[in-house]
Amino acid sequence: MQFGVFSVGDVTEDPTTGTTLSEGERIKAMVRIALKAEEVGLDVFAQGEHHNPPFVPSSPTTQLGFIAAQTSKIILSTSTTLITTNDPVKIAEDYAMLQHLADGRVDLMMGRGNTGPVYPWFGQDIRNGIALAVENYALLRRLWREDVVDWEGKFRTPLQGFTATPRPLDDVPPFVWHGSIRSPEIAEQAAYYGDGFFHNNIFWPISHTTRMIQLYRQRFEHYGHGAADQAIVGLGGQIFMRKNSQEAVREFRPYFDNAPVYGHGPTLEDFSRETPLTVGSPQQVIERTLSFREHFGDYQRQLFLIDHAGLPLKTVLEQLDILGEEVVPVLRKEFAALKPAHVPDAPTHASLKAAAERAHDLETIEEPAR
């Protein structure tokens, strides 16, 4: 089981002090959070991709490359790479480059984002969102897996004899998670390719998330990638912790009430009851997170959102200390004890490389018999 944090990179006023970080301060704070995540023993740091205020992470590979140079273990991921409005050729080359710089510690979460105007900004039509996701990703896979590509589609100019450079590290493309909150077509896409499916699990009730994950698992099995319970599932989650629940609720309430993503809506109590948001003690976070398995089955990646809504960096770093010292060690032990032997771990560059080498050796052995 992989544990980590993801950031949406919002620049939001701290409602308790009235201060707002500059864009540069927020970018550097995200770097500090990633370094701290590795320091406390987490497995993954992921960041979103946005091209509109109040968000700053418009160039994930630039920031993740900077983080890669200062880390050695943590997996660097995206919590959204916009497969709809980015050119798949540029994605192929940018993330292969990042792969080399990070010695393979890279994977991606493909998504369509939640900002409608981004489509015309990049010359696309939001009404083609699903079709773009399907076509662009099909091309991206070929660019990573074929040295020379001839291709023609609907949404970009054709390619003739094209080679994306650099080639993926060790000829092993980064592992891909397909992220979606509500689109069954994306769960279907993830299942078709045998890729991972990630549900951010922070806004919707558990009943909805359960249906999406069940669909993905059923279709994963349908396409012959393994049993439904062997499908590769990732979940988000949203937490805020202090020693006791009363202290946590009191401190987090003004941030919740004014957050750009859900402020001025349901109360903190209602939102905590209807969604996986957990504001309380470390033990409450442990119990709530362990309960996800009852609804979604054994899964491979758990990421927490801890740094939005204007929370000061000092507070976020304190949250990471609690995660690393009190929460994740217990979750690792409990999830490991519950996971059946036939359920795979989350793919890594090392595991994907080993699988590719085994497949090559098997082909070499079988070749003389043909």
Over residues 43-87, the pLDDT tens digits come to 999 999 999 889 999 999 999 999 999 999 999 999 999 999 999
Side chain identity at residue 128, one-letter code: N
Q: Is the pLDDT of residue 99 over 90?
A: yes
pLDDT at 338 over 60: yes
The helix or strand, by DSSP H or E, that contains position 2, with its residue range, turns out to be strand 2-7
Instruction: Quote the DSSP letter at residue 87.
Output: -
Distance of CA 141 to the CA centre of its chain: 18
Helix ranges (DSSP H) in 231-348:
245-258, 268-274, 282-296, 313-322, 328-338
Banded pLDDT at 170 (limits 50, 70, 90) = very high
pLDDT at 213 over 70: yes
Whole-angstrom distance, CA of residue 92 vs CA of residue 94: 6
| Mean pLDDT of the region 301-308 | 96
- What does the block give as tokens for 27? 């970018």
Q: Are 68 and 32 in contact (CB under 8 A)?
A: no
The better pLDDT of the pair 183, 171 is held by: 171
Q: Which of 89-93, 125-129, 261-265, 366-370 has the lowest average pLDDT? A: 366-370
Closest to 99 measured CA to CA, from 353, 305, 300, 303:
353
**Worst-scoring range by mean pLDDT, 51-60, 66-75, 178-187, 274-283?**
178-187
**Which amino acid makes up residue 25?**
E
| Banded pLDDT at 167 (limits 50, 70, 90) | very high
* pLDDT over threshold 80, residue 114: no
Single pTM value for the model? 0.95
Q: Would you state the pLDDT for residue 236?
A: 93
Cβ atoms of residues 180 and 211 within 8 Å = no
Q: Which of 62-71, 155-164, 254-263 has the lowest mean pLDDT?
A: 254-263
- The pLDDT of residue 202: 78
> Using an 8 Å Cβ cutoff, are 142 and 151 in contact?
yes
* Burial letters 166-205, b for 16+ CB under 10 A, else e: ebbbeebbbbbbbbbbebeebbbbbbbeebbbbbbbbbbe
pLDDT band with cut points at 50, 70 and 90 for residue 369? low
Backbone angles phi, psi at 61, to 5 degrees: -65, -30
Q: Looking at residue 370, what is its pLDDT?
A: 60
What average pLDDT does this structure show over 193-221? 92
* For residues 195-224, average pLDDT: 92
- Mean pLDDT across the chain: 94
In the DSSP assignment, the letter for residue 314 is H
Check whether 298 has a pLDDT greater than 70: yes
- Residue 127 is encoded by which pair of tokens? 């009404």
Q: How much is the pLDDT for 207?
A: 87
Q: Are strands 149-151 and 159-162 parallel, antiparallel or unpaired?
A: antiparallel
Provide the H-helix boundaries in 125-204: 129-145, 184-193
So what's the pLDDT on residue 290? 97
> How high is the pLDDT of residue 74?
98
Cα separation, 27 vs 10, in Å, equals 10
Task: Please report where in the chains the tokens 């997996």 appear, as a residue.
Answer: 75
Q: What is the maximum alpha-carbon separation in the chain?
A: 74
Asked if residues 215 and 188 have their Cβ atoms less than 8 Å apart, the reply is yes
Return the pLDDT at 367: 66
pLDDT class for 368, splitting at 50, 70, 90? low
| pLDDT at position 364 over 80 | no
Q: Could you tell me the two tokens for 14?
A: 């701290």
